[in-house]
Amino acid sequence: MYDNLLNRFLTYVKIDTQSDANSTTVPSTQKQVDFAKILMKDLEDIGMSDIEYTESNGFVTATLPANTDSEAPVIGFISHMDTADFNSANIDPQIIENYNGETIVLNKQEGIRLSPDDFPNLKNYIGQTLITTDGTTLLGSDDKSGIVEIFSAMEYLIAHPEIRHGKIRVAFGPDEEIGVGADRFDVDHFGADFAYTIDGGPVGELEYESFNAAGANVLIKGKNVHPGTAKDKMVNALKLAIAYDQALPENEVPERTEGREGFYHLLGIRGTVDAAEMSYIIRDHDREAFEAKKEQMKSVAKKLNASIGENRIAIAMHDQYYNMREVIEKDMRPVELADRAMRNLSIDPIIKPIRGGTDGSKISFMGVPTPNIFAGGENFHGRYEFVAVESMEKATDVLIEIAKLAVN
């Protein structure tokens, strides 16, 4: 039905677009800029209008004009160009047709296998066409599936002018994976009444509740003295780092939480006896519990400083995004519309909180309610990532159905 979907996906995932959290440029990598230029040419080729690249934020935007005089909201469809911090060079996608439900050998030489024993979700795709990695890279379905689904939906609507729809705006943005892509998104220029990020997982996901999120760096000053004369003098920054982490609630970590339960997540630790630094992310769906977690991190530092009699532990903390439900529940039109679209297509909506965030988490607070719709992929951000062609086709169906239903 969507003739160019598979070939476009295979082409796009082979293009390395990884973002870089240590960069200060916008976008964070030149390869995202290069990909943006490819997308602009492809948008022109399928017949989109108002195609622009905005240097100040790294977004590509385009318009599908309305083909009806009937009243309809301006709808936005958004996906991100970058991939996560796993090997993204030389991606070699593998196609498994009519998947039989057995273990897939991703890389025979390195003994890397995609097994339903480890990933029972594979059993949901028996008989379908899977696209996997070769076991050495991620795939990039997050979020190039979303990009090609938007392309396929727009291409189909252009080819079928008998389908009445209102004005549709599309956007492809940078740096979602490092949490800063939507910071400079221009909602006024985009001009949508509401939007959707096409950035979810398996078929049916419809999400309008995300974490509240913060990042924290714990900075520790030690005192390095020769170990032979260190008694009552040395202060080991690494030992303080260990003590700090152990003072946080031991069960409030990603590996022991689910659903709406929040967590503290130690991302990294580096240092010496003289100085150490730990980086954390803090997550909770409940705003009060989120604020309490931030206070708990400060309290632990205060208590440890008091125990050693001097201020050697400091915390630099910043909020990253908030639970988009606070905004979207005031205007549930996009959720209700997507729910109807899925049900019309015999897809059971899976409405649940995201244990993470999307660009929609920030864009919603900018004034454009932006829930998240499935893009179809699974096992994101690593060598076991895969997506079914049929899932991408269903996501495309949903976007077209949303466009149809939005016309009054």
CA distance 206 to 342: 9
DSSP assignment letter at 270: E
CB-based contacts of 71, cutoff 8 Å, min separation 6: 166, 407, 408
**E-assigned strands of 252-292?**
263-271, 275-284
DSSP secondary structure, 79-133, as one string: EE--B-SS--SS---EEESS--SS-EEEETTTTEEE-TTT-GGGGGGTTS-EEE-
CA distance 118 to 132: 15
Active site members: 82, 176
What is the distance of C-alpha 204 from the center of its chain?
A: 17
**Cis, bond preceding 175 (omega within 30 deg of 0):** no
DSSP secondary structure, 148-212, as one string: HHHHHHHHHHHH-TTS----EEEEEES-TTTT-GGGG--HHHH--SEEEEEEE-STTEEE----E
DSSP secondary structure, 195-256, as one string: EEEEEE-STTEEE----EEEEEEEEEE-B---GGG-TTT-B-HHHHHHHHHHHS-TT-SGGG
